[in-house]
């Protein structure tokens, strides 16, 4: 797993409906929360690697977005660099590409340049169905439908199936804000975030889907991370606890409220591979 320390983290502009530059980030508390999250991952048996933070890249701490990480038939370990919607976030991408290059990952270029007009935002929108060769691919707000289309084509020789999912509620701007895989068969989801047809697709992909309320979704319960039979999230609710009990996952609560001011929670703060 890869994380980026929040050394330069702040909320500077509005990239999603959660962000309010007039509400200051408490830097000290952010640093403590990030340390606690890293410790929770480590205690769950995860090896956490670090990419160095870069001054002026205030969202670099959200390590889920800069590259998609995959393993396929044509390339054993590869990344697909993102083309981020926002300029400041585009500047984060080369630092992650460099890190993965140094660690033996091949980089696949989809030609997602300014001229293409397409966007693809890594694991914010591209989500593996655990233990499968299927990637669910959200689009509508940050990744574009065309970006997902190009990604889908590039994944064909890898034997990876890409399932496009249309997002319709701008509050849930990334797929990882409204869908959270618990294991190979089960996921949490907030139905109001999805177009009707995409809801049917989701229902076909999972054996068990646990609905969360809008209220819970706004608290980022769908941005938790299931790892080694733990489910790490910043909030718990009775509905979530029931789902976790059925799936035999141990809830681990880690407050990352300082990061939620930027519209990101547990799942956004790491890249797992
Ligand atoms: N402020 C960041 C942005 O809007 C938050 C990203 C959260 N990451 C995520 N995977 N949802 O780009």
**What pLDDT does residue 271 have?**
98
22 lies in which domain range?
A: 2-269
Taking the centre of ligand 1 as the mean of its atom positions, its distance from the CA of residue 100, in whole angstroms, is 20
Is the minimum distance from the CB of 176 to ligand 1 under 6 angstroms?
A: yes
Determine which residue's CA is closest to atom 8 belonging to ligand 1: 268
| 181 C-alpha to ligand 1 centroid (Å) | 18
124 CB less than 6 Å from ligand 1?
A: yes
Res. 196 pLDDT band, cuts 50 70 90: very high
Q: How many A from CA of 78 to the centre of ligand 1?
A: 22
pLDDT bucket at 262, cuts 50 / 70 / 90: very high
For position 35, which CATH number holds?
3.75.10.10
Give per-residue burial for 57-71: e unless 16+ CB within 10 Å, then b. bbbbbbbbbbbbbbe
pLDDT cut 70: percent of the chain above it = 100
How many Cβ atoms from other residues are within 10 Å of residue 39's Cβ? 12
User: Does residue 83 line the site of ligand 1, with CB under 6 A?
Assistant: no
Closest by Cα among 131, 66, 130 to 100: 66
Q: Is 64 in the pocket of ligand 1 (CB under 6 A)?
A: yes
Which atom of ligand 1 is closest in space to residue 121's alpha carbon? Answer: 10
Is 89 a pocket residue for ligand 1 (Cβ < 6 Å)? yes
Taking the C-alpha atoms of residue 223 and residue 221, their distance in angstroms, rounded to an integer, is 5
Give 3's pLDDT tier (boundaries 50, 70, 90).
very high
Alpha-carbon distance 39 to 151, whole Å? Answer: 34
According to the model, what pLDDT value does residue 131 have?
94
Q: How far apart are the first and last CA of the chain?
A: 6
Number of domains forming the structure of the chain: 1
Locate the ligand 1 atom nearest the alpha carbon of residue 174 and give its number: 11
Q: Which residues are catalytic?
A: 174, 268
Mean pLDDT to the nearest integer, 20-44: 97
Average pLDDT value for residue range 89-96: 98
pTM assigned to the model: 0.97
Pocket test for ligand 1, best of 57, 263, 271 (most atoms within 8 A of CB): 263
pLDDT value of residue 75: 97
- Which DSSP state fits 94? H
Torsion angle, CA of 149/266/38/128, rounded to 10 degrees? -30
Q: Is beta strand 186-189 parallel, antiparallel or unpaired with respect to 179-181?
A: antiparallel
Does the C-beta of 15 come closer than 6 Å to ligand 1? Answer: yes
Condensed to tens digits (0 to 9), the pLDDT of residues 96-137 reads 999 999 999 999 999 999 999 999 999 999 999 999 999 999
- Any atom of ligand 1 within 6 Å of the Cβ of 268: yes
- What's the confidence (pLDDT) of residue 187? 98
Mean pLDDT of the chain: 97
To test the pocket of ligand 1, the residue of 124, 175, 176, 267 to mutate (highest count of ligand atoms within 8 Å of its CB) is 124
């Amino acid at each position: 797993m890869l994380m980026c320390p929040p050394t330069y983290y702040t909320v500077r502009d509005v990239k999603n409906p959660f962000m309010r530059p007039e509400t200051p980030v408490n830097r000290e508390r952010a640093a403590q929360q990030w340390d606690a999250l890293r410790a929770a991952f480590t205690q769950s048996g995860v090896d956490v690697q670090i990419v160095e933070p870069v001054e002026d890249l205030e969202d670099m701490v959200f390590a889920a977005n800069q590259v998609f990480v995959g393993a396929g038939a044509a390339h054993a370990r590869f990344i697909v660099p993102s083309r981020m919607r926002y300029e400041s976030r585009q500047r984060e991408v080369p630092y992650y590409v460099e890190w993965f290059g140094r660690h033996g990952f091949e980089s696949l270029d989809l030609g997602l340049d300014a001229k293409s007009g397409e966007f693809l935002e890594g694991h914010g929108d591209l989500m593996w169905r655990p233990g499968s060769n299927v990637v669910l691919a959200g689009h509508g707000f940050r990744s574009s439908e065309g970006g997902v289309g190009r990604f889908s084509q590039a994944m064909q020789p890898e034997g990876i199936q890409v399932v496009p999912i249309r997002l319709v509620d701008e509050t849930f701007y990334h797929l990882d804000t409204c869908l959270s895989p618990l294991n190979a068969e089960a996921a949490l989801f907030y139905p109001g975030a999805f177009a009707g047809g995409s809801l049917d697709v989701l229902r076909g992909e999972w054996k068990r889907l646990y609905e969360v309320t809008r209220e819970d979704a706004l608290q980022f319960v769908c941005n938790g991370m299931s790892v080694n039979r733990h489910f790490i999230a910043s909030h718990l609710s009775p509905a979530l606890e029931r789902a976790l009990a059925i799936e035999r996952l141990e809830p681990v609560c880690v407050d990352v409220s300082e990061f939620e001011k930027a519209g990101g929670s547990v799942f956004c703060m790491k890249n797992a591979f």
